[in-house]
Structure 1
Amino acid sequence: MNLLHANDRRGEYPASYYTASATPLAPFPMLKGQVETDICVVGAGYTGLSAALHLAEAGFRVVVLEAHRVGFGASGRNGGQVGSGQRLEQDQLEGMVGRTRARALWDMGEEAKTLVKDLIARHAMPVTFRPGIAHACYSQGEADHAKVMAEKLARDYDYDLVDPLPEGLIGSTAFKGGDIDRGAGHIHPLNYAIGLALAAVAAGVVIHERSEVHSISEGARQVVRTGEGQVVCDHVVLAGNGYLGRLEGRVAARVMPINNFIIATEPLGDLARTVLAEPVAACDTKFVVNYWRLSDDNRLLFGGGESYGYRFPDIVKTVRKPMLEIYPQLRDVKIDHAWGGTLAITMNRLPCFLHPRPGLWSVSGYSGHGVAMATLAGKLMAQAIGGQTGGFDLMASLPQARFPGGAALRWPLLVAAMTWYSLRDRLGL
């Protein structure tokens, strides 16, 4: 079964709150026949669209192939949080790669946030960046650790935008404390993907939707084949993330697709201020993390729960349970939208930058930290193709282990591991 088609209708966006509130975008034509170009980008999410935009601005001819619609995958379905740094905390990164490289990774994360904001402003995208992500801790030990990490960021990384969690900001008795990162923020994720697509097209990029890639042939020039046509090119950028499948085995061995789910309530009216007293986003300290924010029309968008097969479960049942554990005051609130999507994780939860062979480039596996990093990853691939490989090489130098069990056994092994961590969450360990 193909994840591109397991839970969605061909060529259509999922029935999500984001789809219902997105800026309309006319479909791009399907690829038919043969075209020649400098670079073919596979996947029209943040990674692929950012790569295409930056490549076109550098003077390359670029064709983007998307199996469904622009922003169809995780880029149009995620929680919209634009976080600081990398997916791992800085003390973890220091232990993994040392202080110097950990600082370089932090700076790269900050560059990624700035890039998102700059692109939104420069291209007048239909997107508002709203500052603030709160991190809510269930135990005093977690809250104490958050305080230590905020002090470390201020002392060692010159980042003083993390403050203690204001009393009453999160209207729940489930938490013992936490912090708020005023330098992070949140956006409408699908509108951001649409904004990137429109910017890319304005720069000269050609986008083909409903053009699923089935194979890539290596030769004097590369040939990227779809059901109705093919692209002959010098370089291929793989930007399918969790939907890439086995198109490139060296990526599939290191990047695992998993499913995550979000619900959107009816507009909450005055009840909204009992949920979040400020228009910030929030997340908790569960291993299977819960994350939430209010929409512009005061709906609660709440994400939680994961699955590791192909078919989605009962999404409302899956996500409503953790929502009510945090906000029992919402037990009578109607759920208007429920949707799922496929993201991708790596063993170390850092994105997987690969250059498997000459002319083939790939970044994926953002592990839930992809809005900013995927945007930067596209730019770094564009720079590398143009000969400036420093940023790409730094990320590619990070150790990326293969998932144990290979393609056949990685799913059941991941399920076993995630079941254990989910049990720890439920037991409060």
Structure 2
Amino acid sequence: MIHEARPEAAMANVPVWDDGAWAPLPSLQGHVSADACVIGLGGSGLTLISELLRRDERVIGLDATDVGGGAAGRNGGFLLAGTYDFYHDAITRHGHDRARAIYGATLAEMARLAEEAPGTVRFVGSKRIAATAAEVEDCRVQFDALRADGWPCEWYEGADGTGLLLPTDGAFDPLTRCRLLARAARDEGATLFARTPVTGIHGTAVITPHGTVHAGRVFVAVDGRLEQLLPELGDRVRTARLQMLATAPTAEITVPCPMYYRDGFEYWQQLPDGRIAIGGFRDKGGDGEWTHDWAPSAIVQQHLERFLRETLKVQAPITHRWAASAGYTTTGLPVIAQVRDHVWALGGYSGTGNVIGALAARAAAAAAIDGDHRPAQLLRGDAWSPDMPLRPSPSTA
């Protein structure tokens, strides 16, 4: 049975990051026009808006809820280098040169995220803790692969288990980051609307319940439910529900950095004020977690609470329970594609949207505006090599 001290807070599906201080953006009313319309005001959408503004584009941004209302503001607050796959698995799956290049790009992007959203990032490292003897051996393979390529990694054995310490990873407040990016975008001239769900994209006209955006280009920058807005991506991306809970501040344990456990199925961190935020157990929810519903479910929340109480030994009251929709691809690499004339899609970050999503946004802007497809080719698994020359922009990508 689920227990919580404050059910009105814990069951409201509000992430621990939301301090309630944000003034909602206006909704779109009427007809407007711009060079570019960006659908989705999460981390990737807002990064894309910044990139478009740097290229002197007139930009309108829309979101069905509000800034950071999707997975970008409802995730675990981890900044991890690399792809969805652990580094050695990424080498096997995507090739050594690509895996190494993406790893380096994500490290550089994390530094950039910290610069763009001052005060939100803590570079405290992360730990991968093994749940089984087989996972300990897998950690050793990952350790060897990282060290062979010169990436910082330490073998770890401590009271909380055995595994790896990755000192270059970090933790951050994802919702505050999105709100800072939104304020900066508005200051730089972007027009942003919230509570404006898109009901259709007809050519480059973006249709909403109370108005239309007419744009030269449309970018659909959402992670979860991407295949709803663009049905032609239904065979490339699938939406899953990711769930978390958080406690009141506690001194029962000290968690110095983000923690990954059981091959990453569970993850938790301690916030600066002492709260424990934990997510995971998506596999325990079965096929029901492949859903567009983003309300917390009882079965996953029960597993999270049991792990909190029995494994982490934390008895502090649970104050927040929430969920988010995230897109997964069969490759573990994101979708970055021109899917219709002048309509681009980016999403399907497979749980790595904090960093890969920002890189995907920069890659989409480079491809759509500059005709430079190399960053997108690197991230999405196209034919690629480190010395690939600049290609002219094709009609589709």
* Common topology (TM > 0.5): yes
Matches for 1:91-110 after TM superposition, within 5 Å: 91-110=88-107
1:165 aligns with 2:148: no
Q: Give, in whole Å, the separation in 1 of the partners of 2:45 and 2:354.
A: 12
1:238 aligns with 2:220: yes
Q: Counterpart of 1:371?
A: 354
Q: Counterpart of 1:294?
A: 270
Aligned with 1:91: secondary structure? helix
Query: Which structure 1 residue ranges, 5 or more long, are not aligned?
Result: 1-12, 400-429
Aligned with 2:224: secondary structure? helix
Q: Counterpart of 2:47?
A: 50
Letter of the structure 2 residue corresponding to residue 360 of structure 1: V
Q: Counterpart of 1:317?
A: 302
Query: Normalization by structure 1: what TM-score?
Result: 0.80
Residue 397 (structure 1) shift: 4.0
1:209 aligns with 2:194: yes
Query: Normalization by structure 2: what TM-score?
Result: 0.86
Q: Counterpart of 1:5?
A: none
Question: In the alignment, which of 281, 288, 291 is matched to residue 258 of structure 2?
Answer: 281
More helix, by proportion: 1
Letter of the structure 2 residue corresponding to residue 35 of structure 1: V
Question: In the alignment, which of 255, 279, 296 is matched to residue 303 of structure 1?
Answer: 279
Residue 285 (structure 1) shift: 2.3
Q: Is the 8 A contact 2:121 2:170 kept in 1?
A: no
Q: Give, in whole Å, the separation in 1 of the partners of 2:60 and 2:39.
A: 9
Matches for 1:19-418 after TM superposition, within 5 Å: 19=18, 21=19, 24-121=21-118, 126-156=119-149, 158-159=150-151, 161-168=152-159, 170=160, 175=161, 177-218=162-203, 222-269=204-251, 271-273=252-254, 276=255, 278=256, 280-286=257-263, 289-306=265-282, 307-309=289-291, 310=293, 312-314=296-298, 316-327=301-312, 329-330=313-314, 332-387=315-370, 388-398=372-382
Residue 14 (structure 1) shift: 4.2
Q: Is the 8 A contact 1:304 1:322 kept in 2?
A: no
Q: Give, in whole Å, the separation in 2 of the partners of 1:240 and 1:85.
A: 20
Q: 1:151 to 1:254 in 2, by over 3 A?
A: same
Query: Which structure 2 residue ranges, 5 or more long, are not aligned?
Result: 1-11, 283-288, 384-397
Q: Counterpart of 2:14?
A: 15
Q: Counterpart of 2:394?
A: none
Aligned with 1:361: secondary structure? strand
Aligned with 1:378: secondary structure? helix
Deviations 1:220-256 (A, max 9, x none): xx10110000011111111121133522122232111
Q: Is the 8 A contact 2:70 2:324 kept in 1?
A: yes
Residue 378 (structure 1) shift: 1.2
Q: 1:99 to 1:317 in 2, by over 3 A?
A: closer
Q: 1:166 to 1:95 in 2, by over 3 A?
A: closer
Fraction of identical pairs, as percent? 25
Deviations 1:285-322 (A, max 9, x none): 246x1100111211111112222233531264242123
Aligned residues: 362
